[in-house]
Amino acid sequence: MRENPDLKAVSDEDLLRRLSELLRQSRRVESDLVAHSAEVDARRLYAREAAPSMFAYCTERLHLSEPEAYLRIAVARASRRHPALLTMPADGRLHLSGIERLAPHLTEENREGLLGRASHKSKRQIEELIAEVAPRPEAPASMRKLPAPKGAGVTEAPLPSTGLRPDGVFRRLRRSTRTAAPLPGSPPARLDMPVASSVRTELVSCPDQLRGDRPRLNPLRRLASESGSTPAPSSATSWSGSRR
């Protein structure tokens, strides 16, 4: 850091006095800068400098940084509605950042009391004051759908079903063979073809389940053996043999 040789000989008391005086001058210059910016903005003189807006004029012609340009334009426009804002930066009662925060909440009715409470306050204290006089509404309650668990979208393709489990097919077929008990001396009972055809359709839809936990036996012959009768050859019997 380069030191100013002229300040080395200055006493401590004089150095502190000079710093305070320079700060007062800087504040007065800052207040004058805001006042001039407000008038240039009101007259739209930035258009004479081929600038499309006051912000472009401050950044492209005056070479201010974007935050500096935004801050000074906001305070300048607020001072046109509330002229008292121009005197507060000059005497150090309120800085530009505090004015920029307070400006949207100032009205003719509350500006005197609000500016009095904000005098000599830091930026954080001014934000707390704004939260007190103009609290934000509470966020409305909402419900949000949670994302699906990882891998939940991957499902196995369901097997074709007729509404009956594989063992239900055999129970249905067994009940159909027991509807009428054979009389003594009567010929062997024959399975009703419509019933055998419907059962055959259900067996076709789940042959893999049947082969997994049932013996590879013609279901019609098995049921016939349980009921004590011998079924006659039918289309269902020939079909069962063809599925082996």
Q: Are 182 and 196 in contact (CB under 8 A)?
A: no
For the cut 50, the answer to whether the pLDDT of residue 79 exceeds it is: yes
The pLDDT of residue 243 is 46
Residue 213: half-sphere exposure toward Cβ, Cα within 13 Å: 6
Task: Of 80, 84, 85, 83, give the one whose Cα is nearest residue 101.
Answer: 85
Torsion angle defined by CA atoms of residues 153, 159, 163 and 164, in that order, rounded to the nearest 10 degrees = -130
Per the model's pLDDT, the better-predicted residue between 170 and 6 turns out to be 6
Q: Are 39 and 86 in contact (CB under 8 A)?
A: no
Distance set, CA 226 to CA 37, 200, 240 (Å): 106, 19, 18
Q: How far apart are CA 179 and CA 218, in angstroms?
A: 21
User: What 3-state class would DSSP assign to 69?
Assistant: helix
For the cut 60, the answer to whether the pLDDT of residue 237 exceeds it is: no
Render pLDDT for 212-223 as a digit per residue (tens, 0 to 9). Answer: 444 454 555 555
Q: Are 119 and 84 in contact (CB under 8 A)?
A: no
The pLDDT of residue 57 is 96
Q: In the chain, count of helices (H) and strands (E)?
A: 13, 0
The residue type at 25: Q
pTM over 0.75: no
For helices 166-177 and 219-227, the axis angle rounded to 10 degrees is 40
pLDDT, mean over the chain: 75
Domain segments of the chain as ranges:
11-133, 166-176+191-236
Render pLDDT for 85-126 as a digit per residue (tens, 0 to 9). Answer: 988 998 889 999 999 999 999 988 888 899 999 999 999 999
Q: Are 75 and 34 in contact (CB under 8 A)?
A: yes
| Strand ranges, E, within the chain | none
Of the candidate ranges 86-90, 136-140, 173-177, the one whose mean pLDDT is the lowest: 173-177
